[in-house]
C-alpha cells in the first residue's frame, strides 16, 4: 500500500477539510480527493462522509485511523534507522504556553542549534486544551504545560521543572507597598487579569479568591501574558504570573510585587502522545530542554 494515501487519510481525519488537508500536504485538493477514493477502493470501505461542513470519519474510518497511524509510525522508525549513524535531523513541533516561548525556550533552541544543527524546532503558542488536541492529532510532537498532572491517559508526561509564581500590581497601586502582609480577604475585593481558563495556577488562584466569604473579585481572563501584564502595569488590577515573565518589569519598576499570600511553585510538564513514536530529533529536544532547566 502506498503510505502517501495513509498520510492523506490521517491528515484529512485531523483537519476535517479537503481544503485544509490539501494546504497542509502541499497538494491540489483534487489530489487529496483521488488519494481518499483510491484508499477507499483498495480497502473496500467508506472512510468519510462528505458533508457540506467538511469530511467526517465513518465508524469504520475511526477504527482504521489508529492502525493507519501505527503504520506511519513504523515507517518513520524505519527511515530513522536508515539514517547516518550519529546524524540527528528532522522537524520538532512543540506546543507551549506563550510565557515559555518568550523566556525559557530561546536558550533551549540556541543550545540545540549548537549540538544538533540539523534539528529544526517550531514553537506553537497554545493553551492546555489546544496542546492536548495537538498531541492527539499529530500536529504537535511535544507540549509543555503548567500542570501538577494531566488527566489524559493517552498522554505520557515528564516533569522538567518547577517555576515560582509572583503576584504583581502596577507601581502606583495601593497594594504596591502596603504596611502589612495583604490578606486573602483584601485580595477578594480587587480586580484581576488572569490567564485563560485551563491554566492550572490561574484557575486555582481564582477558586481560592471566590472561596473567601463575601468575595467580589473582578476576574478578567486573557490568552496572552503580555495583555495581562500590560493591564496591570497600567494600574487596572493585579495578576499572578510565573516570575520569569515579570522579572524584567519588576527590575525596571514597571510592576511591583504584592506582599501577602505565598503560592507553590508551578510544575512544568513535558507531554507527548503515548502511542506515537518519539523520533531522534524529538528525543534530542527533550534532552536539551531537561539539561537547560537543570543547569
Q: What are the structural domains, with CATH classification, of the chain?
A: 3-81 (1.10.10.10), 90-161+267-294 (3.40.190.10), 165-264 (3.40.190.10)
For 23, 108, 195, 209, 237, the CA distances from 229, given in Å and listed in that order, are: 36, 24, 10, 19, 10
pTM of the model: 0.70
Q: Name the DSSP letter for residue 244.
A: G
Q: Which of 21, 19, 20, 1 is nearest to 11 (CA)?
A: 21
Calpha distance 122→278 (Å, rounded): 16
Per-residue pLDDT of the chain (295 residues; tens, 9 = 90+): 788 898 899 889 888 899 988 988 889 999 999 999 999 999 999 999 988 888 999 999 988 988 888 787 777 667 666 655 566 778 889 999 887 887 888 888 888 888 888 888 888 888 888 888 888 877 889 999 887 777 788 888 888 888 899 999 999 999 998 778 899 999 999 999 998 887 888 999 999 999 999 988 999 998 888 899 999 999 999 999 999 899 999 999 999 999 888 898 988 999 998 877 778 888 889 888 888 887 6
Calpha distance 136→118 (Å, rounded): 26
User: 214: alpha, beta or left, given left = phi > 0 and alpha = psi -120 to 50?
Assistant: left
Number of continuous H segments (helices) and E segments (strands) in the chain: 12, 12
Q: Which of 168, 200, 172, 164 is nearest to 187 (CA)?
A: 168
Determine the angle formed by the axes of helices 29-43 and 18-25, rounding to 10 degrees: 100
Determine the angle formed by the axes of helices 105-115 and 280-294, rounding to 10 degrees: 120
Calpha distance 216→96 (Å, rounded): 32
* Buried-exposed string 101-129: b where 16+ CB fall within 10 A, e elsewhere: bbbbbeebbeebeeebeebebebebbbbe
Amino acid at each position: 500500500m502506498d503510505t502517501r494515501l495513509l498520510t492523506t487519510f490521517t491528515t484529512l481525519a485531523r483537519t476535517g477539510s479537503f481544503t485544509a488537508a490539501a494546504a497542509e500536504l502541499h497538494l491540489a485538493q483534487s489530489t487529496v480527493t483521488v488519494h481518499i477514493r483510491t484508499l477507499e477502493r483498495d480497502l473496500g470501505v467508506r472512510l468519510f462522509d462528505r458533508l457540506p461542513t467538511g469530511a467526517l470519519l465513518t465508524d469504520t474510518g475511526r477504527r482504521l485511523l489508529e492502525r493507519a497511524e501505527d503504520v506511519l509510525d513504523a515507517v518513520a522508525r524505519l527511515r530513522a534507522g536508515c539514517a547516518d549513524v550519529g546524524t540527528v535531523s528532522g522537524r520538532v513541533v512543540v506546543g507551549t504556553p506563550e510565557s515559555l516561548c518568550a523566556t525559557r525556550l530561546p536558550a533551549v533552541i540556541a543550545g540545540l542549534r549548537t549540538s544538533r544543527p540539523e534539528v529544526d524546532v517550531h514553537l506553537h503558542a497554545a493553551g492546555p486544551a489546544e496542546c492536548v488536541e495537538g498531541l492527539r492529532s499529530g500536529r504537535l510532537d511535544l507540549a509543555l504545560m503548567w500542570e501538577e498532572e494531566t488527566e489524559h491517559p493517552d498522554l505520557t508526561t515528564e516533569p522538567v521543572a518547577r517555576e515560582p509564581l509572583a503576584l504583581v500590581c502596577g507601581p502606583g497601586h495601593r497594594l504596591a507597598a502596603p504596611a502589612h502582609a495583604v490578606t486573602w480577604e483584601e485580595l477578594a475585593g480587587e480586580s484581576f487579569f488572569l490567564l485563560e481558563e485551563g491554566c492550572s495556577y490561574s484557575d486555582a488562584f481564582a477558586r481560592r479568591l471566590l472561596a473567601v466569604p463575601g468575595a467580589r473579585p473582578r476576574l478578567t481572563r486573557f490568552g496572552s501574558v503580555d495583555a495581562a501584564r500590560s493591564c496591570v502595569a497600567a494600574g487596572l488590577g493585579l495578576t499572578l504570573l510565573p516570575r520569569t515573565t515579570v522579572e524584567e518589569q519588576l527590575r525596571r519598576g514597571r510592576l511591583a510585587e504584592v506582599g501577602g499570600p505565598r503560592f507553590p511553585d508551578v510544575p512544568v510538564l513535558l507531554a507527548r502522545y503515548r502511542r506515537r513514536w518519539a523520533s531522534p530529533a524529538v528525543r534530542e529536544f527533550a534532552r536539551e530542554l531537561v539539561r537547560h532547566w537543570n543547569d
